[in-house]
A and B are shown apart, each in its own frame.
Chain A
Amino acid sequence: DIQMTQSPSSLSASIGDRVTITCRASQSISNSLNWYQQRPGKAPDLLIYFASTLQDGVPSRFSGSGSGTDFTLTINGLQREDFATYYCQQSYTTLVYTFGQGTKVEMK
């Protein structure tokens, strides 16, 4: 199975900060990488798919990059509503789409 490793597991940031979260796959997954945001008590929301394509309705301060094994989610200008947990997910293996362990973004 493909393992996904996110770092850091948590981070503290302030409104307006630039935040970067990384995700590493245990083998090459091309650009088959998705990012989700989950707020407490809510279902996950899709942010980015195919590593860098922004889902409809997602603010442009979110961006994704990478291919192969190393990927990055960047939030430029953190807003209050962005304090949440973020998950990467590989979709390289047919309908067995494993997640990273999550990164919690907390207010400093």
Chain B
Amino acid sequence: EVYLVESGGGLAQPGVSLRLSCAASGFTFSNFAMSWVRQAPGKGLEWVSGVGPSGATTYYADAVKGRFTISRDNSKNTLHLQINSLRTEDTAIYYCARVISYHSDFWGQGTLVTVSS
């Protein structure tokens, strides 16, 4: 069975950095693209970033380009999202999701990031 478990969220001050992780199991991680999607409190889903199966290709929403870095460690079946210069508008639940044939078929339960002074 496919499992995706996010971690690394919490309360952080504006301006600091945070690294989110997503541990994958139950499938051959290196065969799939992966993505991060976030959801601010009471708001809709926002696509944040995607990475190809090898990690060589990365993609970002315009809203986060330059501050967010997606990466993966296929030897550890783990996906990461580095968030620099945190802003209050980054407050959200961050979900990782597996991408197959242009859609996301499995999602983690999310990790909450709260940015506040």
Contacts and interface: CB of A to CB of B under 8 A. Distances in A.
Interface of A: 1, 32, 34, 36, 38, 42-46, 49-50, 55, 85, 87, 89, 91, 94-102
B102 A32 contact: yes
A87 B51 contact: no
Contacts of B108: 43
Binding site secondary structure of chain A = loop
B59 A96 contact: yes
Contacts of A55: 105
B3 interface: no
Contacts of A96: 47, 50, 59-61
Chain B interface category by residue count: 20 to 34
A101 B104 contact: no
A96 B105 CA distance: 16
B57 A95 contact: yes
20 contacts: A34-B103, A36-B104, A42-B109, A43-B108, A43-B110, A44-B45, A44-B107, A46-B103, A50-B102, A85-B44, A87-B44, A94-B59, A95-B35, A96-B61, A97-B35, A97-B50, A98-B61, A99-B47, A100-B44, A101-B44
A46 B104 CA distance: 7
A95 B59 contact: yes
B89 interface: no
A26 B101 CA distance: 22
B110 A95 contact: no
A96 B35 CA distance: 9
B95 interface: yes
B40 to A, nearest CB: 12
A45 B97 CA distance: 11
Contacts of B9: none
Contacts of B1: none
